[in-house]
A = this chain, B = another copy of it.
Amino acid sequence: MAVFERLTHLFSATGSSLSSTLFPENSPPPFTSFTVFLLEVSQTPFPLIDQNYPNFSPIHKTVNLDLPITDPQAETFRSCGNDVVVAGFVLFFPNYSSFLAKPGFYIEDIFVRECYRRKGFGKMLLSAVAAQAAKMGYGRVEWVVLDWNVNAIKFYEEMGAQIMQEWRVCRLTGDALQAFANINI
């Protein structure tokens, strides 16, 4: 994803830093803290999955494609079960609007691996987040897009999202954050 967004210079995560910060012991439950939906695909019937998760039941969909998908990295992305491969994910967490007086969800990352694109899987991930927001009575789902990513912008507008042209994100990080935290005003 960092490669696609031309942002590898900002990337410093490792497997263990991700798991220790996203899924620490005693972490708050999904939807009140960080949540990841994994998109898993299988070309044979899906293994039976325990539906009794306390917070979320897996969503199953059967998709008919015109052409079979060849996944050159299937081995690397193999998940539980013989034929199950991770094809993408969406990472999100609650935010809050004081104008609406309602929480919402902020989508930090949404990603579908290259060979699975243009088949509706991205829309499926977004719609799962929207459905969860609606179910919880939340007011908004928000995310950001790079202004040169015209395909993504077109896709988001077609699904009913507004692109907020007037707002700019401000970021305080690294040494500047430390310095500002230490000023004694």
Contacts and interface: CB of A to CB of B under 8 A. Distances in A.
B18 A101 contact: yes
A5 to B, nearest CB: 9
A55 to B, nearest CB: 15
Interface string A26-61: 001000111000000000000000000000000001
Nearest to A123: B185
Interface string A161-185: 1111111111111001111111101
A interface, over-half SS: mixed
Interface stretch (A64-72, A73-81, A134-142): A134-142
A20 B74 CA distance: 47
A175 to B, nearest CB: 8
A141 B169 CA distance: 11
A116 interface: no
Interface of A: 2, 7, 10-14, 17-18, 20-22, 28, 32-34, 61, 91, 93-104, 106, 108-109, 120, 123-124, 126-127, 130-131, 133-135, 139-148, 153, 156, 159-173, 176-183, 185
Given A164-B168, A167-B169, 12 more contacts: A13-B98, A32-B33, A34-B96, A95-B108, A124-B185, A130-B177, A139-B173, A142-B171, A160-B172, A160-B180, A162-B171, A164-B170
